[in-house]
Amino acid sequence: MNLIVDAGNTYVKVAVFQGDKMLFDESFKKERFQEKIKKILKTHAEVDKMITSSVTKLSDATKQFLANLDIKVLKLTHETNVPFQNNYATPETLGVDRIALVVAAVTQYPKQNVLVIDAGTCITYDFKTHEEIYLGGGISPGIQLRYKTLNLLTANLPLLTPKMPESYIGNTTESAIHSGVTVGTITEIDGIIDRYKEQFTHLTVILTGGDANFLAKRLKNTIFANSKFLLQGLNNVLEYNRYND
């Protein structure tokens, strides 16, 4: 069994896999890391391998805790063995979450042109060709970040909760913000998908991340929504290295 750990700035997402099957997953505050991992390993005693992915630096206490575990722990970095050719010009700056998403694309959609869109704090676009070559993609502010930026960097604009406006023509300040953020984000994503379609035939598009459900039904392009794609990708990395280390 595999234990998957994805540590963000505030929350940690974990999952237990038996092969390709996810048996369990949950999310918790970073402060509860050791407590939760101990409980999971006690409940799922068959876990023999673990992978950690973190967009921030883990504390010394957490690193020591992981080093003292009785199972093999793989830390995902840009140097980890992966089943694709990485053509990113600065691989050392490529986020480990993006690496995992590309591995998921390669594993689950082999020999296909795949664009993975992760709609979270930032919206990331990652593209791999049917030849399993990663070319790169794009990064833009996510929905929540756009609302917060408008509030923080202006004197009079309020902080709003994401909402789809009744019309794309906002006739109040609030409806104009909702239009600018939500309609703007949807238009951006559809536009970028269209750009890729112009250059690459038979394009498969995967939408994941915290805002995937909000966006999926509003995009004009056909996409596959999968909120667990990152966790699956991390498991795919661990399985690949189980047989290639």
- Whether 91 and 72 have beta carbons less than 8 Å apart is answered as no
Report residue 29 as tokens: 């505050």
Distance CA 131, CA 105 (A): 12
Is 88 known as a binding-site position?
A: yes
Across residues 89-115, what is the average pLDDT? 97
State pTM to two decimals.
0.93
What is the set of active-site residues?
Answer: 97
Q: Is residue 11 a known part of a binding site?
A: yes
pLDDT in tens, 151-198: 999 999 999 999 999 999 999 999 999 999 999 999 999 999 999 999
80 is in an annotated binding site: no
The verdict on whether residue 12 carries a ligand-binding annotation is yes
Q: Stretch 62-90: mean pLDDT, rounded? A: 95
Q: Which domains does the chain possess?
A: 1-75 (3.30.420.40), 80-245 (3.30.420.40)
Residue 126, annotated ligand binder? no
173 has binding-site annotation? yes
**CB proximity list for 193: less than 8 A, separation 6 or greater:** 115, 117, 203, 205, 219, 221, 223
Which pLDDT band, with edges at 50, 70 and 90, does 244 fall under?
low
Residue 43 pLDDT greater than 70, yes or no: yes
Answer for the pair 120, 8: CB distance below 8 angstroms, yes or no: no
184 in Cβ contact with 122 (< 8 Å): no
Whole-number pLDDT of residue 245: 59
What letter represents residue 47's amino acid? V
- Say which amino acid occupies 201: T
Residues forming beta bridges with residue 7, ordered by sequence position: 12, 54
